[in-house]
């Protein structure tokens, strides 16, 4: 299986040319033909932005997989700490979200995650999150399945009411013991007393330099090990159990939505092209075209909060509930 070689989380450049080779023959439902660099240079579009056409596929679908990424959270004001202006103090996510950074300075990394946990108290699921949750609930009554596979760690899908969620990159509100491996759900605010009032994001904020024994510790008897956020850091492998379940969903879905992800982080970047290669319709919802856009049958440009509710609204062929 193609995915097996992309189990670790990393940003890959030059993705576009590789992916084209994989899925060149996957456009049967739009009339066929492979995408070439010539097409790209001439600016021709291979995808459709016809919502009525998408809705015909939605009407027929019985198993819908929705891949979501940072873009859907960004519309709720959740900072990503990536790209231009995406800094916490003097750092970006890739500087602090790594095993190496945690080894070198666990206090600093915990301050960063403490800030990210605390900031979520003022953020709410947006119309796209809510539409996905409503759709899952509605279609369940028709024996149709909606599953979210997300790269986000902020729990906004859960707070919106979605039930079928696979969190590829872990969860901001779970901890894992570095000694015994115990995973716990934890929404304490602050997560430990030493972090109270710490984690300010501005560049001139002073590092708290909290002694390691005052950072979050394991509560299991006879352990007391240092806890870390239960999230997948750069250079780490994804949970094999979560990956297996994601692959099962992807292999059996008959419609796929890609919402707010730039499709450059593996393995999620492989998911939608893999589905498209089976001839399954894939619809991308994003505020810009991505390097994978031409791989997909549909592309809807604009905020997810506007386009996703429209795409998933009750159709006239569904039983009114
Ligand atoms: Zn422990």
Kindly report, residue by residue over 64-74, the tens digit of the pLDDT.
999 999 999 99
Looking at the fold, whether 97 and 212 belong to one and the same domain comes out as yes
Looking at the fold, whether 70 and 132 belong to one and the same domain comes out as yes
- Token digits of residue 235: 């250079």
153 is in an annotated binding site: yes
Looking at the fold, whether 178 and 64 belong to one and the same domain comes out as no
Residues with CB under 5 A from ligand 1 (ion): 177, 179-180, 182, 218, 220, 223, 225
Which of 269, 261, 238, 231 has its CA nearest to residue 97?
Answer: 231
CA of 112 to the centre of ligand 1 (A): 22
Residue 319: inside a domain = no
Burial group, residue 50, by CB count within 10 angstroms (0-12, 13-18, 19+):
exposed
- Token digits of residue 254: 């008959």
Residues 301, 287 contacting (CB under 8 angstroms): yes
Q: Rounded to an integer, what distance in angstroms lies between the CA atom of residue 224 and that of residue 218?
A: 4
| Residue 161 lies in domain | 2-75+125-168+240-312
CA of 149 to the centre of ligand 1 (A): 29
Looking at the fold, whether 134 and 269 belong to one and the same domain comes out as yes
Q: What is the pLDDT of residue 63?
A: 98
Domain end (from 231, 251, 279): 231
Residues 132, 72 contacting (CB under 8 angstroms): no
Residue 293: inside a domain = yes
φ, ψ dihedrals at 235, nearest 5°: 90, -5
Read off the CATH number of the domain in which 51 is found.
3.40.50.1220
Q: What is the pLDDT of residue 38?
A: 35
Residue 101: inside a domain = yes
Question: How many distinct structural domains can be found in the chain?
Answer: 2
Choosing from 157, 169, 230, 299, the catalytic residue is 169
Residue 156: inside a domain = yes
Looking at the fold, whether 152 and 213 belong to one and the same domain comes out as no
Looking at the fold, whether 23 and 136 belong to one and the same domain comes out as yes
Tens digits of residue pLDDT in 146-203: 999 999 999 999 999 999 999 999 999 999 999 999 999 999 999 999 999 999 999 9
105 is in an annotated binding site: no
Residue 83: inside a domain = no
- Extract the residue ranges of the chain whose pLDDT is less than 50: 1-43
Q: What is the pLDDT of residue 3?
A: 43
Read off the CATH number of the domain in which 198 is found.
3.30.1600.10
Looking at the fold, whether 195 and 280 belong to one and the same domain comes out as no
Looking at the fold, whether 179 and 296 belong to one and the same domain comes out as no
Looking at the fold, whether 191 and 64 belong to one and the same domain comes out as no
Q: What is the pLDDT of residue 267?
A: 67
Q: What is the pLDDT of residue 44?
A: 54
Answer yes or no: 299 catalytic: no
Q: What is the pLDDT of residue 45?
A: 61
CA of 158 to the centre of ligand 1 (A): 27
Residue 86: inside a domain = no
Question: Angle at the Cα of 222 (from 218 to 226), degrees rounded to 5?
Answer: 30
């Amino acid at each position: 299986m193609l995915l097996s070689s992309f189990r670790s989380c990393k940003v890959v450049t030059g993705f576009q040319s590789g992916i084209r080779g994989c899925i060149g023959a996957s456009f049967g439902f739009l009339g066929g033909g492979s995408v070439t660099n010539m097409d790209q240079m001439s600016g021709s579009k291979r995808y459709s932005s016809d919502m009525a056409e998408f809705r015909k596929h939605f009407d027929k679908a019985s198993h819908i997989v929705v891949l979501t990424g940072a873009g859907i959270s960004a519309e709720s004001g959740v900072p990503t700490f990536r790209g231009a202006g995406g800094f916490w103090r003097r750092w970006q996510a890739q500087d602090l979200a790594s095993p190496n950074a945690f080894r070198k300075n666990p206090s600093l990394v915990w301050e960063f995650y403490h800030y990210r946990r605390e900031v979520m108290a003022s953020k709410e699921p947006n119309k796209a999150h809510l539409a996905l949750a409503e759709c899952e609930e509605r279609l369940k009554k028709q024996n149709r399945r909606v599953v979210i596979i997300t790269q986000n760690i902020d729990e906004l899908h859960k707070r919106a009411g979605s039930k079928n969620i696979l969190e590829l990159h872990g969860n901001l509100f779970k901890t894992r013991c570095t000694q015994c491996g115990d995973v716990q759900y934890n929404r304490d605010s602050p997560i430990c007393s030493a972090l109270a009032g710490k984690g300010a994001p501005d560049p001139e904020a002073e590092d708290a330099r909290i002694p390691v024994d005052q950072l979050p510790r394991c509560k299991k008897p006879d352990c007391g090990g240092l806890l870390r956020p239960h999230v997948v850091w750069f250079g780490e492998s994804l949970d094999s159990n979560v990956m297996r379940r994601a692959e099962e969903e992807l292999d059996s879905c008959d419609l796929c939505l890609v919402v707010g992800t730039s499709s450059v982080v593996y393995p999620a970047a492989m998911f939608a092209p893999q589905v498209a290669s089976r001839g399954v319709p894939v619809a991308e919802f994003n505020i810009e075209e991505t390097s994978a856009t031409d791989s997909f049958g549909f592309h809807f440009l604009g905020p997810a909060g506007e386009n996703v509710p429209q795409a998933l609204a009750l159709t006239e062929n569904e039983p009114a509930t």
